[in-house]
Structure 1
Amino acid sequence: MQKNIILMSLAAAMACSSAAQAADGTINFTGNVVTAACTVSAAVATQTVNMGTIVASAFAAVGAQVAPTRFTISLSACPETLTTASIKFDGVANTVNSSLLALSSGQTAAGLGIGIYESDGVTLIPLQTAAASISLSTRAGSASYIAKYVSTAAEVTAGSANAVTNFTIAYN
């Protein structure tokens, strides 16, 4: 009899402990699937932004920003159901400042990366982070960005300074 009481007590304790491990909340996932997205023109989808020729001494200190160069991404033929979009830039991150693009492998310049900024030229868009939203109210939209060389070392070494980024469009 005493064994049965002990076994029943043990079973009741186990049942109570599993209730203590119950979930404390709920996460609902929502989204939409669309039949088509906006069109990005071939000229915009694969473009070259010429950063120019810069003298290494133009980088006076770590964090110096040189050669601001504007480029634009335009979207057209957007479905009516899409109201905004945002661009996210990705690529190999600079080892000193992960918000900047690293120079491509084989480049001879050193001590710098490329920053991509909102059109105000002040707001840095960190890699893997969505830029400001683009309105698609007319079934089209565009956004201008500014690329700048940014020094990551006290001394910048002269040489070729190319980098590559891909971009992804997220629709809201």
Structure 2
Amino acid sequence: MAAAVSGITFAASAADGQINFTGTILDSACTIDTNTANQTVNLGKIPKSSFNAAGAVAAATRFSIVLNNCPAAVTSASVKFDGTADSSDTNILALNSGQTAKGVGVAFYEEDGITAIPLATQSKSITLDTSTGEDPANSNKMTFVAKYKATQAAVVAGTANATSDFTITYQ
């Protein structure tokens, strides 16, 4: 019996550290323009020859999310794109189940089209114009680029649709 008990370890009862959680509850946040809240971004018809190696990208396509009626308490915002990660490259979005294309996913980039935004990671923040409420000039337009990205050396042609949710984080 003593041999069976000797393999048990016990946790110390003293705390090893402390975590403080801070934040602010906003009365309201910006509203997402209805034309950009739920949208379809057409990446086009791309020949598989555009993907000559794993990591090759094609079909750079701009899309935007527009924030309106931002309260004065909100000075900046960033976006996080979520969805099913590609099994070969967890930084990019996998194609939806049932798609016939293989070896490719969708990658997100900042407006410059060069700086990648890994899946489930915040984009850079933009400063918001809160002075005019709903800004007709769309100064609160957050622009991004989506590209097909090869995850394998040999891409199989077919439908290549993917779906991402997004979350706005306000600062």
Amino acid at match of 1:115: A
SS at the partner of 1:33? coil
| Alignment correspondent of 1:121 | 113
What does residue range 53-72 of structure 1 map to in structure 2 within 5 Å? 53-72=45-64
Q: How many residues align?
A: 154
**How much does 1:159 deviate?**
0.4
**How much does 1:23 deviate?**
3.1
Are 2:78 and 1:82 aligned?
no
Q: TM-score, normalised by structure 1?
A: 0.84
Q: Distance in 1 between matches of 2:103 and 2:19?
A: 44
What whole-Å deviation, never above 9, does each CA across 1:111-161 have from its counterpart, x for those lacking one?
000001011111111111000002114356221100000001111101000
Amino acid at match of 1:142: K
Identity %: 51
| Alignment correspondent of 1:157 | 156
Q: TM-score, normalised by structure 2?
A: 0.85
**How much does 1:25 deviate?**
3.7
Are 2:97 and 1:105 aligned?
yes
Q: Distance in 2 between matches of 1:22 and 1:159?
A: 59
**How much does 1:79 deviate?**
1.1
What does residue range 17-56 of structure 1 map to in structure 2 within 5 Å? 22-56=14-48
Amino acid at match of 2:145: I
State which structure, 1 or 2, has the greater radius of gyration over its C-alpha atoms. 1
Does the Cα contact within 8 Å between 2:70 and 2:129 map onto a contact in 1? no
| Alignment correspondent of 2:144 | 145
What whole-Å deviation, never above 9, does each CA across 1:20-39 have from its counterpart, x for those lacking one?
85335433221111121101
Does the Cα contact within 8 Å between 2:58 and 2:148 map onto a contact in 1? yes
SS at the partner of 2:117? coil
Amino acid at match of 2:105: G
Amino acid at match of 1:163: A
Q: Distance in 1 between matches of 2:16 and 2:50?
A: 56
SS at the partner of 1:154? coil
| More helix as a share of residues | 1
Q: Distance in 2 between matches of 1:146 and 1:47?
A: 14
Give me the CA root mean square deviation: 1.6
What whole-Å deviation, never above 9, does each CA across 1:66-85 have from its counterpart, x for those lacking one?
01000011101011101111
| Alignment correspondent of 2:5 | none
Pick from 122, 126, 132 the counterpart of residue 134 of structure 1. 126
Runs of at least 5 residues in structure 1 that lack an aligned partner in the other structure: 1-17
